[in-house]
C-alpha cells in the first residue's frame, strides 16, 4: 500500500530499487510521478508512486508465450529472464506500463517485489528506505498484518479498476488524476529535463484530438519516467499484411478454383462465356500455393526478427504457454503451411485430386491464420483500441481482399483471373469499408479507444487514413474493378488490386500505431 498522504516525492524508493536490482540507466521498476493543479499562486503538487501491481488476474502472465512471467503461490508476479524471448507482448498486456526491455539482456523486466529478499524474511528495498514509511508491504490474507488492517479500514483506491485485473497495490490519499492518465493535460516538457522526442510527438498528436470534455483537465504532469512510445512497430504491421496475403490467397483459390456452388453462381453472373477455373489451372494449382508459402515465410521471418531475443524463438515450441495466443498462432501457422505445401505438391506433380482433398482444410486453416491475431491483440488488455469485437471479422475480410487481389496480380495484365475472383474482391472491399465505418465512426465506451479512433479520423493519422486507406485503397479499386468488368480490361483490374493491397498495408500500419499512441500511465 502507498500512503500518498505521507509521500514527499524524494525518489528514495526509485533509487533503492535501481541499486538493489541493478536497473539500468533509463529504465525504472518503480518511479514517482509529479502532477500539479491550479494556477499561480494557488497551486498544489501531488505525488504518485507507480509500479507493477502484482495483479491476481495478471494479463501479462496470460499473454507471455514462454511462461517467462508467472504468478507465484505467495501472489508475487515474477519473471524468469532466461525464458523470455523479448516479444514485448507483455508490455501491451499490462495496463499500468510496468514492464520494459532491459537494454543489457534484451529481455523483459519489472518489479518482482524484491522476491529474493522476501524469500529470506526481508522486506522489499523500497519499503525499508522510505523515510516517511509511506510504503507498507505485507500479507493481505493475514488479518493481523498492518497492511491488511489498513486496507480494511482506509478508503483505498487502485489504478484502472475497470480493467478487472485485481491489482494488489493500494493507494491512500492519492489524487485521482495522478493515477488516471486521461485526467492529465498532455505535457511536452518536464521539470529538470526534456522528454524524449518520440514521446513529445505523441503527446502533441494526442492533445490535438482531445474531446471538448477533456478541456478542463484536473492536473498537469510535471515529472515522470520515460516510457517506450510504441513497442510494436513496422514489423508487426507488415506481419499482419503478409499474413493476410498468405491466408487469403489459398482461401480465395479454394473458393473460386473448384467446382463449388458459389463459384458456379458467380461464373454465371460475372462471365458466363468463360470456362470455370479448376484445380488444373496453373494459377490455382501452383501459383496460389507458391505465393501463399512465400508470404507465410515472410510472416514468420518478421515475427522472429521483431523479437529482442530471436535466438530463443524455438522456446515458443519447446516451452509454450497454452493460454497465449502467440503459441496458438504459431501452431496454426505451421498447420497452414503444411496444407499449402501439400497443395503445391499436388499442383507440381499433377495430382488435382490431392488439391481438391486439401482445399477445404486449407481454407479453414486460412481463416484461422487470418483471424487468430484478433485473439492475440485481445490479450493485449492494456490497449483498449485493440479490444474491438469487430477485429476478428475485419481480419478475415482483409484476408479475402488480399487473397483476391493477389490472384488478380498473379494473372497479370495478360491473363484474366478466375471469373468469380473480381466479385470476391469487390465484395471484400465493400465489407472492409463497412467495418471501418463501424469501428471508427461509432462512439467507443472506453476513453482510450475513442481517442485512438479520433487520431485516425481527424488527428495526426487522418491524412494517411482518408487519402491512403479510404480513397486510394477502397474507392479507387472499386471504381477500377467496375471499369475492368465493363471493358474487359485486365490492366485496370491489376491496378485496382495493387492499390487495394497498398491500402490494406497502410491500414494495418495505422491501426497498430493508433492503438499504441494513447499513454498507459
For residue 299, pLDDT over 50 is answered with yes
| pLDDT at res. 505 | 98
* CATH 3.30.70.20 boundaries in the chain: 2-223
Q: Note the pLDDT tens digit of each residue in 410-420.
A: 987 666 666 68
Report the range of poorest mean pLDDT among 10-14, 17-21, 147-151, 277-281: 277-281
Q: How confident is the model at residue 213 (pLDDT cuts 50, 70, 90)?
A: very low
> SS3 for 1?
coil
Q: Note the pLDDT tens digit of each residue in 352-369.
A: 889 989 999 999 999 999
Reported residue count of the chain is 521
Q: How confident is the model at residue 259 (pLDDT cuts 50, 70, 90)?
A: low
| pLDDT at res. 206 | 85
Selected residue with higher pLDDT from 151 and 208: 151
> At residue 49, what are phi and psi to the nearest 5 degrees?
-90, 115
Q: Which CATH superfamily is domain 234-517 in?
A: Formate dehydrogenase/DMSO reductase domain (1.20.1630.10)
Residue-averaged pLDDT of the chain: 91
The Cα 313–Cα 295 span in angstroms is 19
Q: How confident is the model at residue 203 (pLDDT cuts 50, 70, 90)?
A: confident
For residue 263, pLDDT over 60 is answered with no
Grid cell locating 60 = 501479462
Report the range of poorest mean pLDDT among 10-19, 182-191, 290-299: 182-191
Select, from the ranges 189-193, 215-219, 435-439, the one with the highest average predicted confidence (pLDDT).
435-439
2-223 CATH, one of 3.40.30.10, 3.30.70.20, 3.40.50.720, 3.20.20.70:
3.30.70.20
Q: How far, in Å, are 108, 296, 330 from residue 334 at the CA level?
A: 26, 9, 6
For residue 147, pLDDT over 60 is answered with yes
Q: Note the pLDDT tens digit of each residue in 382-431.
A: 999 999 999 999 999 999 999 999 999 998 766 666 668 888 999 999 99
| pLDDT at res. 42 | 87
The Cα 241–Cα 508 span in angstroms is 7
Residues 501-505, mean pLDDT to the nearest whole number: 97
For residue 214, pLDDT over 70 is answered with no
The Cα 420–Cα 22 span in angstroms is 62
| pLDDT at res. 281 | 82
Strands 42-51 and 69-71: unpaired
* CATH 1.20.1630.10 boundaries in the chain: 234-517
For residue 32, pLDDT over 70 is answered with yes
Q: Note the pLDDT tens digit of each residue in 480-497.
A: 999 988 887 889 999 999
Q: How confident is the model at residue 476 (pLDDT cuts 50, 70, 90)?
A: very high
For residue 173, pLDDT over 80 is answered with yes
For residue 176, pLDDT over 80 is answered with yes
| pLDDT at res. 444 | 85
Cβ–Cβ under 8 Å, residues 297 and 373: no
For residue 345, pLDDT over 50 is answered with yes
For residue 212, pLDDT over 50 is answered with no
| pLDDT at res. 205 | 87
Quote the pTM value: 0.92
The Cα 354–Cα 49 span in angstroms is 63
DSSP string of 177-240, one letter each residue: HHH-GGGB---SEETTEEPPHHHHHHHHHHHTT--GGGSS-SBEEEE-----S-SS-HHHHHHH
Amino acid at each position: 500500500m502507498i500512503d500518498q498522504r505521507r509521500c514527499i516525492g524524494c525518489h528514495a524508493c526509485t533509487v533503492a530499487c535501481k541499486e538493489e536490482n541493478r536497473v539500468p540507466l533509463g529504465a525504472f521498476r518503480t518511479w514517482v510521478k509529479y502532477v500539479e493543479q491550479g494556477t499561480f499562486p494557488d497551486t498544489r503538487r501531488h505525488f504518485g508512486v507507480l509500479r507493477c501491481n502484482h495483479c491476481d488476474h495478471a494479463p501479462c502472465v496470460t499473454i507471455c508465450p514462454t511462461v517467462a512471467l508467472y504468478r507465484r503461490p505467495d501472489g508475487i508476479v515474477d519473471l524468469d529472464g532466461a525464458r523470455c524471448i523479448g516479444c514485448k507482448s507483455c508490455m501491451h498486456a499490462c495496463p499500468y506500463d510496468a514492464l520494459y526491455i532491459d537494454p543489457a539482456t534484451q529481455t523483459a523486466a519489472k518489479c518482482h517485489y524484491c522476491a529474493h529478499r522476501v524469500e529470506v524474511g526481508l522486506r522489499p528495498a523500497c519499503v525499508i528506505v522510505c523515510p516517511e514509511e509511506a510504503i507498507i508491504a505485507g500479507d493481505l490474507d493475514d488479518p493481523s498484518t498492518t497492511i491488511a488492517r489498513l486496507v480494511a479500514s482506509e478508503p483505498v483506491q487502485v489504478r484502472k479498476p475497470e480493467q478487472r485485473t485485481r491489482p494488489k497495490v493500494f493507494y491512500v490519499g492519492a489524487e485521482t488524476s495522478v493515477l488516471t492518465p486521461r485526467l492529465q493535460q498532455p505535457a511536452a516538457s518536464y521539470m529538470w529535463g526534456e522528454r524524449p522526442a518520440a514521446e513529445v510527438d505523441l503527446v502533441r498528436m494526442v492533445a490535438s484530438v482531445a474531446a471538448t470534455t477533456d478541456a478542463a483537465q484536473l492536473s498537469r504532469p510535471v515529472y515522470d519516467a520515460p516510457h517506450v512510445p510504441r513497442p510494436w512497430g513496422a514489423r508487426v504491421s507488415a506481419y499482419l499484411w503478409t499474413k493476410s496475403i498468405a491466408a487469403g490467397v489459398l482461401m480465395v483459390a479454394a473458393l473460386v478454383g473448384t467446382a463449388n456452388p458459389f463459384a458456379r453462381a458467380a461464373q454465371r453472373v460475372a462471365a458466363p462465356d468463360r470456362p470455370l477455373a479448376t484445380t488444373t489451372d496453373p494459377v490455382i494449382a501452383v501459383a496460389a500455393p507458391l505465393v501463399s508459402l512465400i508470404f507465410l515465410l515472410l510472416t514468420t521471418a518478421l515475427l522472429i526478427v521483431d523479437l529482442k531475443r530471436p535466438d530463443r524463438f524455438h522456446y515458443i515450441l519447446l516451452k509454450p504457454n497454452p493460454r497465449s495466443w502467440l503459441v496458438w498462432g504459431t501452431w496454426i501457422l505451421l498447420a497452414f503451411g503444411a496444407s499449402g505445401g501439400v497443395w503445391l505438391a499436388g499442383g507440381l506433380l499433377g495430382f488435382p485430386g490431392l488439391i481438391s482433398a486439401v482445399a477445404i482444410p486449407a481454407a479453414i486453416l486460412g481463416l484461422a491464420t487470418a483471424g487468430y491475431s484478433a485473439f492475440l491483440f485481445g490479450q493485449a488488455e492494456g490497449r483498449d483500441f485493440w479490444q474491438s469485437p469487430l477485429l476478428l471479422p475485419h481480419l478475415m475480410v482483409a484476408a479475402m481482399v488480399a487473397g483476391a487481389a493477389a490472384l488478380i496480380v498473379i494473372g497479370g495484365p495478360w491473363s484474366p483471373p478466375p471469373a468469380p475472383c473480381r466479385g470476391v474482391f469487390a465484395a471484400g472491399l465493400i465489407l472492409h469499408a463497412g467495418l471501418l465505418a463501424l469501428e471508427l465512426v461509432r462512439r467507443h465506451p472506453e476513453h482510450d479507444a475513442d481517442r485512438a479512433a479520433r487520431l485516425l479520423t481527424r488527428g495526426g493519422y487522418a491524412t494517411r487514413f482518408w487519402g491512403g486507406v479510404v480513397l486510394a485503397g477502397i474507392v479507387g479499386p472499386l471504381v477500377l474493378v467496375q471499369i475492368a468488368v465493363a471493358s474487359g480490361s485486365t490492366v485496370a483490374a491489376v491496378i485496382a488490386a495493387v492499390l487495394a493491397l497498398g491500402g490494406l498495408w497502410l491500414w494495418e500500419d495505422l491501426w497498430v500505431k493508433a492503438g499504441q499512441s494513447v499513454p498507459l500511465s
